[in-house]
Amino acid sequence: MAPTRRGPAPRLIFGDLWPFDPAPETADPKLADRYQLFIGGRYVRPRSGQYFDSINPATERRLASIPRAGAADVNAAYAAATAAFRRWSVLPGRERGKYLFRIARLLQDRAREFAVAETLDGGKPIKESRDFDVPMAAAHFFYHAGWADKLEYAAPGRTLRPLGVVGQVIPWNFPLLMLAWKLAPALALGNCVVLKPAETTSITALKFAGILEDAGLPPGVVNLVTGAGETGAWVMGHPAAAKVAFTGSTEVGKAIMRQLAGTDRRMTMELGGKAANIVFDDAPLDQAVEGIVNGIFFNQGHVCCAGSRLLVQEGVAARVIAKLKNRMRMLRVGDPLDKNTDLGAINSAAQLATIRRLVAAGEREGAELWQPEGRLPAQGYFFPPTLLTGVTQSHRVAREEIFGPVLSVLTFRTVDEAIEKANNTAYGLSAGVWTDKGSRILRLSTELKAGVVWANTFNRFDPSSPFGGYKESGFGREGGRQGLLDYAARA
Amino acid sequence: MPRLPITKTPKVYVGGAFIRSESARTFPVRDAAGHFHSNIPQCSRKDLRNAVEAAAKAGPGWARRTPYNRAQILYRLAEMIEARRTELGDALVTFGARAADAAEGLGVAIDRLIHYAGWADKYEQLLGSVNPVASPHFNFTVTEPMGVVGVIAPDSPPVLGLLSMIAPVIASGNTVVALASETMPYPAILLGEMLAVSDLPGGVVNLLTGFRRELVPTFATHAHLRAIYAAANPEERRVLRTGAAAGVKRVHFVDGGRGAWLEDSAQGLEPIRDFVELKTTWHPIGS
Amino acid sequence: MPPPSAAARHARFRDEVGAVDQVGIEERVAKYTTRSIKKASKVWGLKLAVGMTDLTTLEGKDTPGKVDSLCRKALSPHGAPDLPPVAAVCVYPAMVRRAKQRVGGTPVKVASVATAFPSGQTHLRTRLAEVRGAVADGADEIDMVINRGAFLAGEFSRVQDEIAAVVEACGPAALKVILEVSDLETYDSIRAASFLAMEVLRPGDFIKTSTGKTALNATLGNNQVMLEAIRDFYLDTGVAIGMKPAGGIKTAKQALHFLVAVKETLGDAWLTNKRYRFGASSLLNDLLRQLEKERTGAYQAPYAFSDAAESY
């Protein structure tokens, strides 16, 4: 049998024997120095004449000037959308679909350019914008294009008709992808749109206006207004909006719901999360570790459905944590434009401060912090991948959304306890289950209060797979046949 | 003196390559004015046999592609045909179609390809299901392609009919051996060229030209064809149904004159459903 | 209490070893292919791979002449002074003496396949005699095949006992145990077979993916399964076993991906030919070709390198 070990505990050496040279992506993002609003198919200056800078969070340097849309601009956008709706809504579905197919193909043509722009503006690694964000955005348009002429099949007994003009506000964590998630179904159903990108990441949306032009999309069908929270409030509150869709923090989602409480405005909300990633003792452990890493370090943890709580069965906790640490040592933090970077920059100074604050709180409350050795870049907003062990449900770091590369580790003994702990949260967006036993997967899937359950995988998305949360993670679904219904008029 | 043009030698698209009939036979086609145009391969039973082999070989790979990938390939096929729309239209007119009819038919055909491209990653949500059984089991039904499907296209409309029948069958992962129009086969020769540049793997669609009386009986009895989709007259239907009985083939026929092919009712979910199997799986739910 | 039945021991062994999720591990290894290795780090990796090559000829039509030219290439892959020789030449038992005449006394080792390679389907006594004979002829390393039939029939003890017997027959020669991944088929089985072998191996021995004689050889997926097994075994026992993917690695680009897998799974201590080898033949020339491209800045033609097959 296996020889028994003598001497000091064996350790693996993850050192500098074979360092990688810098491998920067060199494709040109074709940025403008100053962008304009896109209203009624034209590029227009904001009425106020005000612009603000968008900076590169990896270098803290200015990238471009972004227009600040005021109330008058938002009005103009809704007017343009309303005017365009008359023709767009009665275009045969087959024709509407063709515009969306064109958009998908044009985005695929310019994929690399958009990936670099996304990385510069938001801080995520080029590997991710190139391999995930941009292709997935194109796929969303391609998928929804095909629904435009099949709406009579989507809901038995109903003919789906558009709502009218919809107002949409999207976050900074997947700027172009969130734009695709919002625009594609809305347009497929025949709606027109006023969309506000996030303040810190407006560039790819404004570049996207060029794609809409090249596709020949009729003017006014999509209108892009940029700005900060104020602009978002005007977009959400505008009387001409038949429906609003918001993706962002739970806190702001609640504020919008309060703002609209006196109206009949339809809304969908895709808010925050504090997902449990549950590892049982019979799980394939190395793949579970990979799933844990994907779950919390993908996109620096700026993911609403991030697996930010690891719930690991006590019997394998020590092994899993040891493997996790070894795996984390291999994560490269640095220049987002370097093709070998795994963790890029934190999106903004504000977010970095939030992460630091919550991690410090975690340590004060008694959690044990571990980070792999390594230097962070001197410039820019960076945070290392972080493990907090010895966490319980009562710790703040187990309850509050950190939205950063920080994993809180808790343990459990039985299946029932895992379910209890996983559900012990106001959120309910997603969950992960790692086990070799099929019936257990199905039981967990049945009992976890989460809109998306990933079994033996994590952070998998598809345009055909409905996504959305329970409880304070929001309501409504995006993707699939189910997601269409949120953009159609009732009866 | 005007330059002498190079005439094309028609070959059929089988197994991703362009071939003559293994029998080396051809039959001449004349244009609407009665002039000799070209010699079309007169495909034999052995050609049909070889095409089925090619389709079977291409089948597993095609079925394993993601629905999104199949959708993109169908879309690209539409792109390729759109780009050569004038050439196809001219070919139809050469052989007697009215220009306006040709243009309309091609427009519908290309849009129909787009329609089915859009189905590839959606039909599963409508044809499959999770079933609410009365026991602690997760019970789900999924679709699966049937395998190699034999398609017998109408003589008219030659392009619209052929594409309308092939597209729903391959969208779900089946592969096809198709017999093109007997009276107007030349457009199928051109279509083969467009299939070849559409990223469609070789063998997924195989186009044969020739005589129905020779080939329909073999379509009927070839056991490796799991289904038949045919535009056929009553006698041919009888032959096909009789042959199908021997191997329990699934058989579906299309009706309708030219006008019917142009309608939206000639496309949709049904033609997809006709060529998929349904598989239901049970698994306990428990700790 | 009666001892547990063979079936019970079998089940317990599989449980202890653990399962592997196929889709999950393939997603993990796909990330290795997105690593961008450039400039100095690329040259370093390519040279390391040259030094890790077990230059192989295993054909029915091998002759002394063929072995001679293989050995010459092994000692001096491209005549460049800063290039290491390969790790070993790998030949059939009948060719061991000839190879030893050519490379004996140099850093290049002589590895011999044995144990009725590639099928393994002869009596144990025949297989052991073959091993002893090759070692007596001068083989420094033996590449054996495990008994896949016994493994798939669940006779794990027998599989392990046979490996142990071969270890003994090797004497001072290092042993590489070929699992033949195409016969084992699943990642779960490959992991289990890895542990079965490692439990009776010595530091300096290897586990190996394949004979190269079937359609499915080394892939990043099965390489990863075995690297993880080696890692888990090492952390548990302190015994460091080496790894050799064989067959299917034809390009320098692939070899670099495999090395990234080693770097990120086992770390620096395995980035050496004492613990990692490539079983390959045409790979060597692609490594040399890429090294020459890095040196000159120009892409190279294949026929400029000795023993290249391509003439076009």
Over 90: is that where the pLDDT of B87 sits? yes
- pLDDT, tens digit (0-9, with 9 covering 90-100), for A366-398: 999 999 999 999 999 999 999 999 999 999 999
ipTM: 0.91
In chain A, residues with a C-beta closer than 8 Å to the C-beta of C259 are 18
- pLDDT, tens digit (0-9, with 9 covering 90-100), for A331-368: 999 999 999 999 999 999 999 999 999 999 999 999 99
Q: Does any domain span residue A309?
A: yes
DSSP H or E segment with residue B192: helix B186-196
Q: Order across the sheet with A37-39: list the strands.
A: A42-44, A37-39, A222-224, A192-196, A165-169, A243-247, A266-270, A474-475
Q: Which of B113, B119, B125 to mutate to test the interface with A (most CBs of A within 10 A)?
A: B125
Q: Which residues of A touch C (CB under 8 A)?
A: 1-7, 9-10, 12-23, 127, 131, 282, 284-288, 290-291, 322, 330, 339-340, 436, 456-457
Over 90: is that where the pLDDT of A281 sits? yes
So what's the pLDDT on residue A309? 97
Q: Residue C38 and residue A285: Cβ atoms within 8 Å?
A: no
In chain B, residues with a C-beta closer than 8 Å to the C-beta of A435 are none
List chains adjacent to chain B, taking adjacency as at least 3 C-beta pairs closer than 8 Å: A
Query: Minimal Cα distance from A291: which residue of C?
Result: C24
* Number of inter-chain CB pairs under 8 A, A vs B: 66
Looking at the fold, whether A266 and A389 belong to one and the same domain comes out as no
Q: Which residues of A are catalytic?
A: 270, 304
CB proximity B267 to A under 8 Å:
no
pLDDT bin (cut points 50, 70, 90) of residue A4 is low
CA distance B100 to B107: 11
Over 80: is that where the pLDDT of C16 sits? yes
CA distance A404 to A306: 9
Q: Residue B284 and residue A442: Cβ atoms within 8 Å?
A: yes
pLDDT bin (cut points 50, 70, 90) of residue C10 is confident
CA distance A30 to A60: 19
Q: Which domain holds residue A397?
A: 273-455
Instruction: Tell me what percent of the residues of chain B surpass a pLDDT of 70.
Output: 99
Q: Token match 């006196």: residue?
A: A262
Residues C287/C252, Cβ–Cβ less than 8 Å: yes
Residues A206/A35, Cβ–Cβ less than 8 Å: yes
CA angle A254, A257, A261 (to 5 degrees): 140
Q: Residue A322 and residue C235: Cβ atoms within 8 Å?
A: yes
CA distance A446 to B286: 10
Q: What is the CATH number of the domain that holds A92?
A: 3.40.605.10
Q: Residue C264 and residue A330: Cβ atoms within 8 Å?
A: yes
Q: One-letter amino acid identity for B122?
A: K
In chain B, residues with a C-beta closer than 8 Å to the C-beta of A481 are 122, 125-126
CB proximity C234 to A under 8 Å:
yes
Distance from CA of B115 to the nearest CA of A (A): 7
Residues A259/A236, Cβ–Cβ less than 8 Å: yes
CB proximity C263 to A under 8 Å:
yes
Looking at the fold, whether A176 and A192 belong to one and the same domain comes out as yes
CB proximity A438 to B under 8 Å:
yes
In chain B, residues with a C-beta closer than 8 Å to the C-beta of A142 are 68, 71-72, 75
Q: Which of A1, A11, A14, A18 to mutate to test the interface with C (most CBs of C within 10 A)?
A: A18
Can you read off the two tokens belonging to residue B214?
């020779």
CB proximity B115 to A under 8 Å:
yes
CB proximity A101 to B under 8 Å:
yes
DSSP state letters, A208-261: HHHHHHHTTPPTTSEEE---SHHHHHHHHH-TT-SEEEEES-HHHHHHHHHHTT
CA distance C273 to C174: 13
So what's the pLDDT on residue C2? 67
Looking at the fold, whether A216 and A290 belong to one and the same domain comes out as no
pLDDT bin (cut points 50, 70, 90) of residue A2 is low
User: Measured between CB atoms, which of A101, A440, A480 is closest to B75?
Assistant: A101
Looking at the fold, whether A98 and A188 belong to one and the same domain comes out as yes
End-to-end CA separation in angstroms for chain B: 87
Looking at the fold, whether A290 and A358 belong to one and the same domain comes out as yes
CA distance C20 to A456: 11
Looking at the fold, whether A200 and A252 belong to one and the same domain comes out as yes
Looking at the fold, whether A326 and A379 belong to one and the same domain comes out as yes
Over 80: is that where the pLDDT of C111 sits? yes
Which runs of consecutive H residues, i.e. helices, occur in chain C?
6-17, 22-32, 39-51, 64-75, 96-103, 124-136, 148-152, 156-170, 181-184, 187-198, 220-237, 252-265, 283-296
Q: Residue A438 and residue B283: Cβ atoms within 8 Å?
A: yes
Q: Residue B122 and residue A147: Cβ atoms within 8 Å?
A: yes
Residues C32/C220, Cβ–Cβ less than 8 Å: yes
Residues A476/A468, Cβ–Cβ less than 8 Å: yes
- Is C208 part of the annotated catalytic residue set? yes
Distance from CA of A147 to the nearest CA of B (A): 7
Q: Does any domain span residue A117?
A: yes
User: Measured between CB atoms, which of C24, C36, C240 is closest to A456?
Assistant: C24
So what's the pLDDT on residue A5? 60
Distances (CA, A) of A116 to A126, A208, B113, B181: 6, 14, 34, 50
Over 60: is that where the pLDDT of C265 sits? yes
Q: Residue A446 and residue B121: Cβ atoms within 8 Å?
A: no
Query: Which candidate in C143, C183, C205, C286 is catalytic?
Result: C143
pLDDT bin (cut points 50, 70, 90) of residue A470 is very high
Look at the pTM and tell me if it is higher than 0.90: yes
User: Measured between CB atoms, which of A94, A150, A443 is closest to B287?
Assistant: A443
The angle, 0 to 180 degrees and rounded to 10, between the axes of the packed helices C156-170 and C124-136 is 20
Bridge partners of residue A246, in order along the sequence: A169, A269
Bridge partners of residue A247, in order along the sequence: A270
Q: Which of A91, A94, A414 to mutate to test the interface with B (most CBs of B within 10 A)?
A: A94
Q: One-letter amino acid identity for A261?
A: A
Q: Residue A21 and residue C48: Cβ atoms within 8 Å?
A: no
User: Does chain A reach chain B with at least 3 CB pairs under 8 Å?
Assistant: yes
Mean residue pLDDT of chain A comes to 96
- pLDDT, tens digit (0-9, with 9 covering 90-100), for A162-194: 999 999 999 999 999 999 999 999 999 999 999
User: Measured between CB atoms, which of C36, C199, C266 is closest to A2?
Assistant: C199
CB proximity A446 to B under 8 Å:
yes
Q: What is the CATH number of the domain that holds A316?
A: 3.40.309.10
Q: Residue C37 and residue A21: Cβ atoms within 8 Å?
A: yes
Phi, psi of A20 (to 5 degrees): -90, 140
Q: Does residue C282 sit in helix, strand or coil? A: coil
Topology of the domain covering B12-19+41-284: Aldehyde Dehydrogenase; Chain A, domain 1 (3.40.605)
In B42-170, DSSP assigns E strands to 129-130, 137-145, 148-152
CA distance B182 to C292: 60
Looking at the fold, whether A250 and A323 belong to one and the same domain comes out as no
CA–chain centroid gap for A48, Å, is 31
Which whole number is the average pLDDT over C168-180?
Answer: 98
Domain count of the fold of chain A: 2
Which whole number is the average pLDDT over A396-410?
Answer: 96
So what's the pLDDT on residue B200? 98
DSSP H or E segment with residue A289: helix A285-297
Q: Residue C269 and residue A10: Cβ atoms within 8 Å?
A: no
Domain range annotation of chain B: 12-19+41-284
Query: Minimal Cα distance from C266: which residue of A?
Result: A12
So what's the pLDDT on residue A86? 97
Can you read off the two tokens belonging to residue A339?
């093709």
Distances (CA, A) of A303 to A403, A430, A472, B73: 7, 11, 15, 32
Looking at the fold, whether A239 and A167 belong to one and the same domain comes out as yes
Query: Minimal Cα distance from C232: which residue of A?
Result: A323
Q: Does any domain span residue A490?
A: no
User: Measured between CB atoms, which of A2, A12, A17 is closest to C236?
Assistant: A2
Residue A361: Cβ-neighbour burial (10 angstroms; 0-12, 13-18, 19+): middle
Can you read off the two tokens belonging to residue A124?
């995520």
DSSP state letters, A45-75: --TT--EEEEEETTTTEEEEEEE---HHHHH
- pLDDT, tens digit (0-9, with 9 covering 90-100), for A250-269: 999 999 999 999 998 999 99
Q: Which of C15, C167, C235, C237 to mutate to test the interface with A (most CBs of A within 10 A)?
A: C235
Q: Which residues 150-189 of chain C have a CB within 8 Å of chain A?
A: none
CA distance A387 to A410: 11
Sign of the CA dihedral with A102 first, then A105, A109, and A114 last? positive
pLDDT bin (cut points 50, 70, 90) of residue A6 is low
Which whole number is the average pLDDT over B166-172?
Answer: 98
pLDDT bin (cut points 50, 70, 90) of residue C4 is confident
Strand A452-455 relative to strand A430-434: parallel, antiparallel, unpaired?
A: parallel
Looking at the fold, whether A111 and A256 belong to one and the same domain comes out as yes
So what's the pLDDT on residue C117? 96
Mean residue pLDDT of chain B comes to 96
Q: Does any domain span residue A5?
A: no
- pLDDT, tens digit (0-9, with 9 covering 90-100), for A69-99: 999 999 999 999 999 999 999 999 999 999 9
Sign of the CA dihedral with C2 first, then C3, C5, and C8 last? positive
pLDDT bin (cut points 50, 70, 90) of residue C9 is confident
Looking at the fold, whether A447 and A397 belong to one and the same domain comes out as yes
Looking at the fold, whether A264 and A383 belong to one and the same domain comes out as no
CB proximity B36 to A under 8 Å:
no
DSSP state letters, A145-202: HTTTT-HHHHSTT----B-SEEEEE--SSSHHHHHHHHHHHHHHTT-EEEEE--TT--
Q: Residue A436 and residue C266: Cβ atoms within 8 Å?
A: no
CB proximity A296 to B under 8 Å:
no
Q: Does any domain span residue A154?
A: yes
So what's the pLDDT on residue B287? 82
Residues A333/A303, Cβ–Cβ less than 8 Å: no
State yes or no: cis peptide before C118, omega within 30 of 0. Answer: yes
So what's the pLDDT on residue B29? 97
Over 60: is that where the pLDDT of B245 sits? yes
In chain B, residues with a C-beta closer than 8 Å to the C-beta of A282 are none
State yes or no: cis peptide before B157, omega within 30 of 0. Answer: yes
Q: Which residues 316-335 of chain A have a CB within 8 Å of chain B?
A: none
Q: Token match 């549950």: residue?
A: A278
Over 50: is that where the pLDDT of A64 sits? yes
pLDDT bin (cut points 50, 70, 90) of residue B273 is very high
So what's the pLDDT on residue A1? 47
Distance from CA of A29 to the nearest CA of C (A): 20
Which whole number is the average pLDDT over A33-39?
Answer: 98
Which whole number is the average pLDDT over B106-126?
Answer: 98
Over 60: is that where the pLDDT of A3 sits? no
Q: Does residue C113 sit in helix, strand or coil? A: strand
Which whole number is the average pLDDT over C120-142?
Answer: 97
Residues B14/B54, Cβ–Cβ less than 8 Å: yes
Q: Residue A439 and residue B285: Cβ atoms within 8 Å?
A: yes
Query: Which candidate in C42, C73, C109, C208 is catalytic?
Result: C208
Phi, psi of B180 (to 5 degrees): -80, 175
